[in-house]
Structure 1
Amino acid sequence: MEPVLVDFATRPAELANAVVRQHRCVIASSYVAVAAGGYLKVSFTVEDEEDVAPEAALRVTVLGAAVPVDLSLNDEVLTEGLSLPDDGDPGGVREYVMTMPGKALRQGVNVLRIRNAGTADLGGDSLLRVRTVAVEAAEDAGRAAAEHVRAADEGRGTVRTFATERRTLDAPVWEPGPRLLLRLGQEGEELPARLSWRATDGAESAVAFRGDLSGFQGHFRTADGAIGELRGTLTERRAVEDVTAEAVGQYFAAEEEHDGMWRAAGQLCLLLDDDGAPVERVTWSDRKGDATSLTLRTAVTGGSGPAADGERRDVTGEVSRVEASDEFREWGEVAANLLLKDNDKWLAHRNRADLEFVFGGPFAVTAYTLTSANDFPDRDPSDWTLEGSRDGKTWKRLDARQNERFGGRFDTREFSFANAVAYRHYRLSISANSGGHETQLCRVRFFDGGDTPPQPGVCDFIGYRQRAGTEPVGYRGTIVPGPALGPEDEEGAEAAEPLLAGDFTDTARRLQDAARLLDRLTRNLRS
């Protein structure tokens, strides 16, 4: 028989061979809430009589408290008052699984009814939160269950994107906030239940996730001290390799301290990007009660570290797009030309204009250059400001110039300023030019302070871990390359295996033993 699937965890809901009707139900972000006495009717079709399986398996996934359920198929009662045992997790995921005799199905349209058999009780949670419904041949159920487990395991290697909203203290309405990219933890660990982080500019956030990680509720404090509420909804799940151009997670060879000895503790992946400044401290816990907290030596996202030996880095190539308040499209004198290395230019038909440069990730720009265009010196900018923004909405002034002059055509001038905060958006607002009716530039380039090169054997985070029911232990890690996508790289050479920090301890011990042996041999030879 053709499988039936209803998935309310996506928007819009995914329906396969199913039509859904409802009574006393409300659509939520990742489930349908069925009130006491309400029900869902799932209609599906069995094409031919020979497609009717000897047995069919029904799986209904619900969230939250255990609520009694009545199930019927084609007005025939399958079960009444079925309730799963309470596992003590009020936000957990539960699954009703049962086998239906093939004779209960019929050729043509079949109707499955899922009814909330509970009673309205103001002292308890009487809502039945249905997330998925599936009907399939019983022989396929085992394979589907294995696929479900595999998908859950792969989900731990998935980057989740959350759309967020913010409401500052005493504000009447929620406002859209920056998106949040998230992946953290080690292979085999539970997904986070609570998460808090602090950025290098002092901004802080703390959230608690729903049981299925479909959203969160929390609070925040901005870098300038404003506080408010924070909430988010899962909008996308993507494989890690699909987001590396947008935000690159860090991989660490982790160690735990037991009885004064550091021991290898697997590999930790950390990707937390909220379009703000780089993260410097992260704390999280899962539903099993395991807790982890760490402070990073360097920022997770690139482009904000201190300069290496006084060098700086040209990050213009990281600009994903540039937008102008005005440009001369008819002659191809558009803002995109500002990122090229040839002599094409950008021209605006007015004496003031705005240019917004959007980077693929946050960068702490500390210098920029402007190159004058090919003609008409009176079109050269003379007064302007450079601003930075994490979300493209709230801007901070970084640099301001007045009465500037260029030495000639295609003259490049550099402007530096102090900045330690990484922004994704930079806006050059030209408020005056050198007297002309139009404004133009040939080229714009951006520079940050550069990155400190990784130092082998130096820990890049320090913190603690505590397994549920056990004592806390020290936790530290060193940055290593991420897992290879295949056995060989593009050059055909073997991919390098990440070296755990714990390996250095064993190597040093063996070297010390060898040194002692050589010392004894030397003394014996002399004697």
Structure 2
Amino acid sequence: MEPVFADFSTTPAQLSNAVVTHHRCGIAPSHLALGAGGHIKVDFTVDGWKENEEAVVTVTVLGTGAPMDVLLNGKTLAERLAIPADGGHSDPRDTVLSAPGDLLAAGTNILEIRSPEGSDTLLRLRAVTVAPAHEQDQARHALAARAANRSVVAFSAEVRAPGTTAWQPAPRLLLHVDLGESALPSQLSWRTADGSEAAIGLRADLTGFLGHRRAADGSVTEYRGSLAERWAYPEGTAGARLHRFSTESGHDNAWAPSGELRLLLDDGGALLERVSWTDRRGTTASIALSGVSPVAAPAVRQPGGELRDITRTVEDVEASDEFAEWGEVAENLLSKSHNKWLAHEDTAELTFTFAQPAAVAAYRLTSGNDCPDRDPQVWKLQGSHDGSHWTTLDTRTGESFRGRHETKEYQVASPASYARYRLGIEGNRGSDMTQLSRIQFLAADAPFPGPTHGAADFTGYRTTLGGDPVGYRGTTVPGPWSATPGQQEGQEAGDALPKLLAGDLGETARGLDEAARLIGKLAVYLKNS
């Protein structure tokens, strides 16, 4: 019997040897929410089944005290089975049910999970598996292996200062750690080149994390995150700070090849300098990257040296206000056209997020097309790694433009590498509106010789569960690398009831016969939807 599982912790759902339909069911990012009278049906196939065999059905829910009915081929396995409330927590909880062999049949089978009529509590389903009793872990292992394949994870993050109650948004955390063992991380700690540090523990299903961080200025905050997106490598890594290393392990002063390490850990701040982690198999590693350009010593402009325009690497701009009705929005500031940005206020803020941290050595402002009294006169340019803590890089007062569409350049005395820059306009030349036509950011060419960002090797150690620590070192594999996804996402069905659940079927069929059978089932459901 092939493993049967349906994992609803991601969108689309991850399915193996299964087609799922649903009724009165909400699709949340980490589960299916069944209201009273709602149900799902898992349509799966069994080959060569014997009546004297026994199967095990495992239903994983987020503990809510909600009852459920479980039926296999129309026969009841559990009726109004109450899942005990978990004190307000939402940890996944397993319910294991025995299915007598005579309830299963060679060929098509239907497993149905219902939220009983009249239930006043949502039944939140996380996953369902079916496996022979003598191999009851088979489906769970297959599910875990599929989850491990989706090892590129993005979290929405928040921070909270000690003694306060309100959480504040923080840059997203993007991570991927793979030693070639298909084992997801359980704990991580890291330090970046500006001195910032963080440590987190990850939920077993990778739907969130909790930890702490210390910013470059020494301030300490609580740190937490919730799952935003998840991909199978190399999806999700395009344009990210991905490291790939050819590694070696040291035993008794002798080094031997130990596979490839892929490492991606981006918290929106400076470049990674050191990282330690423990994975689900108990392997622990700690590495220090060499060749990372320190933030405190960025490239500086040499006498007669050239500056290069890095404005095109800005991937987002936000304004405290903009005149959207006339199309005079902040995005116009990054264009070479004569369109402008206009704010309905005499003070304003513009925040620019770069694809990679950059050391701005100079910046240029271009005045608008009219109304000189709207020109900025007093402002500060600031830099930040996390969007919360800002360092002032340049301050200007009493500035003026002699004409319309005039461009003026301003030097930054001490450039440093930041992921975000903010232009805080504190006053203009008398109007109740503020405008600019264009902003450009410039950086000095990197000094030579010297290391380049991202071109880092590492040295460290690693320890397997119950083993002794051994030396661990890596050599950078030069990029760029292929970004061709390895799996395909499922297709959504129509809106008629019952609805076909969108799912990733990339690994659900292991042979031509299974593929033909599943395609046939999908065709029937799509035809009738």
Structure 1 stretches of 5 or more lacking a match? 22-27, 33-39, 65-69, 79-90, 115-128, 488-527
* 1:16 matched to 2:14: no
Match of 1:220 among 202, 213, 216: 213
Deviation at 1:164, TM superposition (A): 2.8
Would you say the 8 A contact 1:280–1:298 is kept in 2?
no
Would you say the 8 A contact 1:166–1:228 is kept in 2?
yes
Q: What does residue 83 of structure 1 align with?
A: none
Q: What does residue 472 of structure 1 align with?
A: 470
Computed over aligned residues only, the root mean square deviation of the Cα atoms, in angstroms, reads 5.0
Secondary structure at 2:361 match in 1? strand
Matches within 5 A, 1:20-31: none
Matches within 5 A, 1:220-369: 220-245=213-238, 247-299=240-292, 306=299, 312-329=307-324, 331-369=326-364
Q: Give the whole-Å Cα distance in 2 for the aligned partners of 1:265 and 1:110.
A: 44
Q: What does residue 484 of structure 1 align with?
A: 482
Greater length-normalized contact order (CA 8 Å, ≥ 6 residues apart): 2
Deviation at 1:290, TM superposition (A): 1.9
**Cα gap change, 1:366 to 1:95, in 2 (>3 Å):** farther
Would you say the 8 A contact 2:162–2:220 is kept in 1?
yes
Q: What does residue 176 of structure 2 align with?
A: 183
* 1:380 matched to 2:375: yes
**Cα gap change, 1:405 to 1:380, in 2 (>3 Å):** same
* 1:402 matched to 2:397: yes
Deviation at 1:217, TM superposition (A): 2.5
Would you say the 8 A contact 1:41–1:113 is kept in 2?
yes
Deviation at 1:136, TM superposition (A): 8.6
For 2:365, the aligned partner's letter is L
Secondary structure at 1:171 match in 2? coil
Q: Give the whole-Å Cα distance in 2 for the aligned partners of 1:234 and 1:46.
A: 26
**Cα gap change, 1:464 to 1:329, in 2 (>3 Å):** same
Deviation at 1:227, TM superposition (A): 2.3
Would you say the 8 A contact 1:306–1:449 is kept in 2?
yes
Secondary structure at 2:218 match in 1? coil
Q: Give the whole-Å Cα distance in 2 for the aligned partners of 1:150 and 1:72.
A: 27
Q: What does residue 199 of structure 2 align with?
A: 206
**Deviations 1:444-489 (Å, cap 9, x if unpaired)?**
111244557768xx863222223331332142332522542469xx
Secondary structure at 1:275 match in 2? coil
Q: Give the whole-Å Cα distance in 1 for the aligned partners of 2:94 and 2:433.
A: 65
Deviation at 1:195, TM superposition (A): 0.7
Secondary structure at 2:338 match in 1? coil
Q: What does residue 459 of structure 2 align with?
A: 462
Would you say the 8 A contact 2:155–2:173 is kept in 1?
yes
* 1:151 matched to 2:182: no
For 2:397, the aligned partner's letter is Q
Q: Give the whole-Å Cα distance in 1 for the aligned partners of 2:232 and 2:481.
A: 13
Q: What does residue 420 of structure 1 align with?
A: 416
Q: Percent identity?
A: 40
Q: What does residue 165 of structure 1 align with?
A: 158
TM-score scaled by length of structure 2: 0.65
Would you say the 8 A contact 1:303–1:451 is kept in 2?
no
Secondary structure at 1:151 match in 2? helix
Q: Give the whole-Å Cα distance in 2 for the aligned partners of 1:46 and 1:377.
A: 68
Deviation at 1:330, TM superposition (A): 5.4
Q: Give the whole-Å Cα distance in 1 for the aligned partners of 2:251 and 2:132.
A: 50
Q: Give the whole-Å Cα distance in 1 for the aligned partners of 2:77 and 2:152.
A: 43
Q: How many residues in Structure 1 have an aligned counterpart in Structure 2?
A: 430
Matches within 5 A, 1:59-138: 59-60=57-58, 74-75=75-76, 100-103=100-103, 131-135=126-130
Secondary structure at 2:217 match in 1? coil
**Deviations 1:27-54 (Å, cap 9, x if unpaired)?**
x99689xxxxxxx99966699xxx9x87
Q: What does residue 24 of structure 1 align with?
A: none
For 2:257, the aligned partner's letter is A
Secondary structure at 1:179 match in 2? strand
**Deviations 1:331-377 (Å, cap 9, x if unpaired)?**
54433222112333334455433323233344343321112334454
Would you say the 8 A contact 2:373–2:428 is kept in 1?
yes
Matches within 5 A, 1:444-455: 444-450=439-445
**Deviations 1:473-516 (Å, cap 9, x if unpaired)?**
142332522542469xxxxxxxxxxxxxxxxxxxxxxxxxxxxx
Q: Give the whole-Å Cα distance in 2 for the aligned partners of 1:438 and 1:173.
A: 33
Secondary structure at 1:317 match in 2? helix
Q: Give the whole-Å Cα distance in 2 for the aligned partners of 1:18 and 1:332.
A: 44
Q: Give the whole-Å Cα distance in 1 for the aligned partners of 2:99 and 2:478.
A: 48
Secondary structure at 2:171 match in 1? coil
Would you say the 8 A contact 1:195–1:206 is kept in 2?
yes
For 1:464, the aligned partner's letter is Y
For 1:101, the aligned partner's letter is G
Deviation at 1:284, TM superposition (A): 0.8
Would you say the 8 A contact 1:389–1:395 is kept in 2?
yes
Structure 2 stretches of 5 or more lacking a match? 63-68, 80-90, 116-123, 486-529
**Deviations 1:294-346 (Å, cap 9, x if unpaired)?**
12235599999546986654221122233334445555443322211233333
Deviation at 1:422, TM superposition (A): 1.7
* 1:192 matched to 2:175: no
